[in-house]
Amino acid sequence: MSDSILIVHCAEGAKKALARMTEEGYKLPPRFKTFELPCTGSVNEVLLMENLSNGAKGVVVLGCRKENCKHLDGNLKAERKVARVKRLLSEAGAEGRFVEMVYAAPDEGKRLHETLLGFARAGEAEGKS
């Protein structure tokens, strides 16, 4: 297992939130990788599970703010997939891997940065213990 954290984000609000984050000067450690999809609604369990089983430490699904999905409720659909994968991981006892859903608006650079770093820190703490 590598320590990389994959951020799968949509091409709308979440993309803009990431851009805003970098514009504001908040930086991510290199273990974070980003990948763009048209909408987080196109994320499913296969995509999350295969990324994790292929070695990613964690996958963060980053979507638009809840009521703001361009495709109506793609982000909410993604949240349900993330919830199922969380359950699968815990049932399978797949320790040390995680999956999270994050909603971000394009004006939330700082908060997004804190949230993402939080996942990295939580992962590290787990690794040490």
Q: Summarize as ranges the residues that interact with another protein (CB under 8 A).
A: 4, 6, 8, 12-13, 18-19, 22-23, 25, 27-30, 32-35, 37-39, 41-47, 49-54, 64, 67-74, 77, 81, 88-89, 91-95, 97, 106
Minimum distance of another protein from residue 125's CB (angstroms): 20
Minimum distance of another protein from residue 28's CB (angstroms): 5
Q: Which is nearer to another protein, 50 or 122 (CB)?
A: 50
Q: At what angle do helices 109-128 and 13-23 cross, to 10 degrees?
A: 90
Q: CA dihedral in degrees (39, 40, 46, 50; nearest 10)?
A: 100
Minimum distance of another protein from residue 118's CB (angstroms): 16
Minimum distance of another protein from residue 85's CB (angstroms): 8
Locate tokens 């650079």: which residue? 109
Burial 31-59 (b: 16+ CB within 10 A, else e): bbeeeebebbbebeeebbbebbeeebbbb
Q: Which is nearer to another protein, 32 or 115 (CB)?
A: 32
d(CA 91, CA 29): 30
Q: Which is nearer to another protein, 44 or 126 (CB)?
A: 44
